[in-house]
Structure 1
Amino acid sequence: MPRPDLSPASGQQQSRDIADVPAVELISTTAVHLMSAAAVHLGLSEDLPDHRDLDEARSLIDSLAGLLTAGTPHLGHHHAAPLRDGLKSLQLAFREASPIPDAPGDGPGEKFTGPVHR
């Protein structure tokens, strides 16, 4: 297995590469990664349908809600709307998967989004 290039020149190239990526793309990509990981921990993955870790899912959904709350003004409606819809779907899936449902407003991410209803 090849070793990663840890030379200073390599670090400079990586910094230049990341500098070329617009903030909208970084925020959106990070949100999609958080959504995907939360879905896996909710047992929604086709590859791991029996996997469920609600503590991990809660942390990921909280983080996603915080990111979207802070990032929405920078994303604009066109990019933010589908991400917010995905967040709401995960929040509802969490509520359904939880053996003891949280009170309205206490579910994952609801401190940022407010209570989530169908």
Structure 2
Amino acid sequence: MSENSPGTSADALSDASARAARDMADVTAVELITTVGVHLMSAAALRCGLAEDGEAHEDLDEARKLIEALAGLVTASAPDLGDTHARALRDGLRSVQLAFREASAIPDAPGQGPGEKYTGAVT
């Protein structure tokens, strides 16, 4: 078979999938949940305009979705994460919720902001 034949490509994809599965098997659930939480938090902060060139990336509609997802993840997984990991994620979540509120030209009513249906009102 030539190097560009479909069989070679499929074999490479299969090998990559097997390596990815082995890598995932080595990661604990707490590590994975925390990593996903940090990615959601970072993306939300970026969309709230907290980056160095923040206004270029600000998109509050996107930030709202990311914060909602982060709040759901943190709320659902907190009992299994342990105090240290859960507290760090809760603190970060609160920070991006407050950043969202500050960036909004027309703030949501207390308890109606992104993620607040999971966390309660953030002030």
- TM-score scaled by structure 1? 0.90
Pairwise CA RMSD: 1.5
Q: Give structure 1 regions of 4+ aligned residues with deviation exceeding 3 angstroms.
A: none
Residue number in structure 1 paired with 2:6 = none
Q: Does 1:49 align with 2:93?
A: no
Cα distance, 1:10 vs structure 2: 2.7
More helix by share: 2
Q: Which has the larger radius of gyration?
A: 2
Matched residues in 2 for 1:113 and 1:68: separation? 9
Cα distance, 1:67 vs structure 2: 0.3
Q: Does 1:101 align with 2:107?
A: yes
- TM-score scaled by structure 2? 0.86
Cα distance, 1:16 vs structure 2: 1.6
Q: Does 1:17 align with 2:23?
A: yes
Residue 78 (structure 1) aligned to one of 71, 81, 84 = 84
The share of aligned pairs that are identical, in percent, is 64
Residues 27-66 of structure 1 mapped to structure 2, 5 A cutoff: 27-46=33-52, 48-50=53-55, 51-66=57-72
In the comparison of the two structures, how many residue pairs are matched?
113
- Structure 1 gaps of 5+ residues are none
